[in-house]
Amino acid sequence: MKLDRNGPAGSGKYAVVKLRRLPSQGDAKHSEALNLLLAGGFVTLGYPGSEDEFFVVMLKDRYADEALNAYAQAAADDGEGEYAAEVRVLAQRSGRHHPNSKKPD
């Protein structure tokens, strides 16, 4: 198994939308765009307890390196050495190693 980096320009499999930055009301363009993405099945909201629940860790999150190293170790323990190595590379440039490291918000 390998990390999925097959998006446009190697961007990967997913994108992150900061929903709290969307205007709460009145901005029809943003609402319409989000609704089109939702209707097309391009966005997963990941509600708590749902089958698709998720937790996003940004590489600049101060704690990301610890989380990614633990994830890599679990993958290695499961026999996924190549995948674990790729995740460790992410860990090396995340968390306290990231030039914009900060506490998560």
pTM of the shown model: 0.80
pLDDT of residue 89: 95
pLDDT of residue 26: 58
Contact 2, 86 (CB under 8 A): yes
Please give the helix or strand (H or E) that residue 46 lies within, else none. none
The yes-or-no verdict on residue 9 having pLDDT over 80 is no
CA–CA separation, 53 and 35 (whole Å): 19
Query: Could you report the per-residue pLDDT of 20-42, keeping only the tens digit for each?
Result: 877 766 577 878 888 899 999 99
